[in-house]
């Protein structure tokens, strides 16, 4: 375990467009990341994950890559990136970057060539299929962005597959030449010094070669956690369009290739119909991904049943693998607003999510602004830029509202995010200003400083960082589990509720000591815990 830095690590996700702008164009950049890395390091995290900064027409804000080897000028240059890596390493931070291997932009030179004919050198690099006899798409597969996952191309007189926007054609990873090109891209960035990759939508890399229809979701089937009910994709069981068994063979192949570079890490994003089980099946020690994270907590209200169900699903499959938990990211409504939108003290929810995510068995990935307890921003329809939010408005509110600029300085223009005299790419949310970094720095009891204290404690506690987990029977609103490593044990108890609750600690844990400095909104008297809303209590045995 000594060299497995990723096991039990805490990763900080940076969304470059919204982190910090240093050239006054209203869009964050690599220079902005460099300027704020001391803040990230002060949290005590082990690594950063940077969302895409590659050349792109930005139809999906960088997840539509047109050149995997180039930094988009919007964010800076390759020299800026090399400086970023150097500065991060000096601060003791590992660097993970996003890789989008399942699809490219339709402006990528590969796709431009592929669509020209049936027999060019890139003809099989994308997923093409003939129409049915009546001219309709080859099957019923649907896109995450709504509607069919197929778009007609008049040049080839075929349909091409896209799991997201029509401007994001799916790469054909069944093609050996595509796999070899992905390995060249992998080599390029690893040789530049990155410590690994976060692999976007890794569950959608391969597909059923027979192109069979997906069956409908049956009554009583649990809803998927990676798409809202307003998305028609939620009505299908995606047995053939993604999450196919052969995906595991591909994951193992890329892991074997990355193993040639010591101490690197692959973090897979895994969705689908049962994201916890899929994520857990994608990780095994020595093969497959080092880490995978799912949408179980990111897409839920984090009730007691959500929490215990996610833990049980992972532990049922994980074997000797390692999961990465997350309660926020750039695709979902922020946890402070998602858990209980009408509850009056969002900082309590921020601390609740922090303590939960950082005490589960696995690593943890936190999203920028989570350490400030930021709410979901309310973005006016006229200010929306994300095609997904626009398509599903107003039923779905997620991506733009969690991507608004970071508030650094309460009394500076644009809360210190940018010095532009014009508009920022998304507006700074007024209610975020009071949560700015400079204000919380001065408040010893702020959410920011609570994050620092909790991460510091986690680092000193092997039971939390790398230990086992065991769920404990508890009342309907209380989630409880035991973390153990060798002789060390930590009892973790959460009131996942807006009401006051009481619970008596089971007799087998009577010798455990209450850790008051880490617990929040919990009082213990003669073994009975009284919780305020979203309170939590930790007990330890050494």
Active-site amino acid positions: 200, 269
Token output for 294: 């799912």
Q: At 500, phi and psi to the nearest 5?
A: -70, 140
**Cα separation of 495 and 490, whole Å?**
17
Q: Mention every residue, 6+ apart, whose C-beta is less than 8 A from residue 533.
A: 343, 345, 348, 495, 497, 498, 499, 500, 521
**Cα separation of 378 and 381, whole Å?**
9
Token output for 121: 């050198």
> Largest Cα–Cα distance in the chain?
78
Q: Tell me the three-class secondary structure of 124-191, residue by residue.
A: CCECEECCCCCCCCCCCCECCCCCECEEEECCCCEEEECCCCCCCCEECCCCHHHHHHHHHHHHHHHH
Token output for 347: 């900082």
**Cα separation of 312 and 427, whole Å?**
40
Instruction: Name the residue with tokens 């003669």.
Output: 526
* Burial (0-12, 13-18, 19+ Cβ within 10 Å), 141: buried
Residue length of the chain: 542
> Which one-letter DSSP state was computed for residue 323?
B
Which sign does the torsion angle of CA 235, 240, 246, 251 carry?
Answer: negative
> Which one-letter DSSP state was computed for residue 113?
H
Which sign does the torsion angle of CA 504, 509, 512, 516 carry?
Answer: negative
Token output for 332: 């979902």
Token output for 4: 């497995």
CB 380 within 8 A of CB 394: no
**Which among 37, 65, 38 is positioned nearest to 53, based on CA atoms?**
65
**Which among 94, 103, 77 is positioned nearest to 171, based on CA atoms?**
103
């Amino acid at each position: 375990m000594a060299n497995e830095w990723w096991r039990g690590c805490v990763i900080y996700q940076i969304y470059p467009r919204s982190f910090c702008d240093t050239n006054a164009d209203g869009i964050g950049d690599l220079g902005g990341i460099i300027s704020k890395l001391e803040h990230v390091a002060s949290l005590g995290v082990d690594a950063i994950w940077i969302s895409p900064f590659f050349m792109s027409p930005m139809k999906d804000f960088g997840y539509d890559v047109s050149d995997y080897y180039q930094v988009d000028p919007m964010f800076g240059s390759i020299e800026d990136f090399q400086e970023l890596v150097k500065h991060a390493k000096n601060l003791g931070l590992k660097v993970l970057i996003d890789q989008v291997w399942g699809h490219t932009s339709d402006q990528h030179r590969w796709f431009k060539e592929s669509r020209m004919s049936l027999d060019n050198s890139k003809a099989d690099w994308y997923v093409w299929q003939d129409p049915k006899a009546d001219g309709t798409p080859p099957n019923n597969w649907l896109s995450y962005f709504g509607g069919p996952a197929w778009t007609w191309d008049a040049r080839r007189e075929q349909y091409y597959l896209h799991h997201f926007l029509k401007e994001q054609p799916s790469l054909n990873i069944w093609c050996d030449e595509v796999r070899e090109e992905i390995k060249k891209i992998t080599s390029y960035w690893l040789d530049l010094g990155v410590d690994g990759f976060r692999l976007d939508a890794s569950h959608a890399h391969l597909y059923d070669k027979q192109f069979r229809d997906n069956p409908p979701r049956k009554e009583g089937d649990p809803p998927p956690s990676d798409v809202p009910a307003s998305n028609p994709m939620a009505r299908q069981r995606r047995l053939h369009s993604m999450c196919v068994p052969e995906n595991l063979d591909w994951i193992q192949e890329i892991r074997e290739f990355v193993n040639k570079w010591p101490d690197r890490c692959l973090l897979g994003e895994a969705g689908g119909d049962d994201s916890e089980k899929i994520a857990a099946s994608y990780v095994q020690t020595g093969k497959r991904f080092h880490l995978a994270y799912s949408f179980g907590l990111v897409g839920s209200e984090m009730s007691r049943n959500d929490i215990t169900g996610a833990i049980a699903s992972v532990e049922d499959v994980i074997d000797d693998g390692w999961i990465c938990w997350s309660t926020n990211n750039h695709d979902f409504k922020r946890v402070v607003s998602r858990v209980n939108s009408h509850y009056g003290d969002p900082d309590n929810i921020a601390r609740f999510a922090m303590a939960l995510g950082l005490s589960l068995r696995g690593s943890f990935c936190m999203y920028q602004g989570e350490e400030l307890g930021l709410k979901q921003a309310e973005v006016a329809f006229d200010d929306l830029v994300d095609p997904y939010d626009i398509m599903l408005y107003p039923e779905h509110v997620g991506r733009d509202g969690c991507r608004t600029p970071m508030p650094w300085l309460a009394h500076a223009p644009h809360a210190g995010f940018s010095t532009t005299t014009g508009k920022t790419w998304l507006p700074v949310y007024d209610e975020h200003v009071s949560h700015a970094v400079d204000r919380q720095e001065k408040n010893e009891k702020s959410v920011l400083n609570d994050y620092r204290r909790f991460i510091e404690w986690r680092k000193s506690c092997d039971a939390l960082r790398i230990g086992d987990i065991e769920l404990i029977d508890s009342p309907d609103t209380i989630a409880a589990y035991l973390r153990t490593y060798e002789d060390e044990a930590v009892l973790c108890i959460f009131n996942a509720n807006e009401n006051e609750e009481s619970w008596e600690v089971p007799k087998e844990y009577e010798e455990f000591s209450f850790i008051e400095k880490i617990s929040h909104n919990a009082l213990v008297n003669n073994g009975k815990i009284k919780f305020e809303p979203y309170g939590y209590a930790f007990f330890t045995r050494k």
